[in-house]
A and B are shown apart, each in its own frame.
Chain A
Amino acid sequence: MSQRQTGVAYRVLADMIAGLLVGAFLGYWVDRWLGWAPYSLVTGLVLGFAAGANNAWRAIRVYSDEAAKGGDEGRRLP
Chain B
Amino acid sequence: MHSPMEQFEIKRLLDFKIGGLDASFTNSSLWMIIAVILATGVFVMGMRQRALVPGRLQSVAELGYEFIANMVRDNVGDQGKKYFPFILTLFIFILFANVLGMVPYSFTPTSHIVVTFAMALFVFVGVTLIGLARHGTHFFSLFVPKGVPWVLLLLLVPIEIISYFIRPFSLSIRLFANMLAGHTMLKVFGGFVVMLGLIGGWAPLAFIVVFTGLELLIAFLQAYVFAILTCLYLNDAIHLHH
Taking the closest CB of chain A, its distance from the CB of B143, in whole angstroms, is 11
Flag whether B5 is at the interface (Cβ < 8 A). no
Flag whether B229 is at the interface (Cβ < 8 A). yes
Flag whether B170 is at the interface (Cβ < 8 A). yes
Chain A proximity mask over B24-46: 1 for CB below 8 Å, otherwise 0: 00000000000000000000000
Q: Do A19 and B162 form a contact, CB below 8 Å, given A14-B170, A75-B70?
A: yes
Flag whether A42 is at the interface (Cβ < 8 A). no
Taking the closest CB of chain A, its distance from the CB of B118, in whole angstroms, is 16
Nearest A residue to B67, CB-CB: A75
Interface size of B by CB at 8 A reads 28
How many residue pairs between the two chains, A and B, have CB atoms under 8 Å in the bound complex? 77
Flag whether B224 is at the interface (Cβ < 8 A). yes
Is B242 a contact partner of A55 (Cβ separation < 8 A)?
no
Is A50 a contact partner of B159 (Cβ separation < 8 A)?
yes
Flag whether B173 is at the interface (Cβ < 8 A). yes
Flag whether A37 is at the interface (Cβ < 8 A). no
Is B173 a contact partner of A58 (Cβ separation < 8 A)?
no
Interface of A is mostly: helix
Flag whether A26 is at the interface (Cβ < 8 A). yes
Residues of A within 8 A of B228 (CB): 76-78
For B159, give its contact among A3, A14, A47, A77 (CB under 8 Å).
A47
Taking the closest CB of chain B, its distance from the CB of A69, in whole angstroms, is 14
**Bound CA span A52–B162, Å:** 8
Chain B proximity mask over A3-41: 1 for CB below 8 Å, otherwise 0: 100110011011101110111001000000000000000
**Bound CA span A15–B168, Å:** 10
Chain A contacts to B: CB under 8 angstroms: 3, 6-7, 10-11, 13-15, 17-19, 21-23, 26, 47-48, 50-52, 54-55, 58, 75-78
Please name 9 pairs of A and B residues whose Cβ atoms are closer than 8 Å in the assembled complex, sorted by A: A7-B221, A10-B225, A11-B225, A14-B171, A14-B177, A15-B166, A17-B170, A21-B169, A22-B162
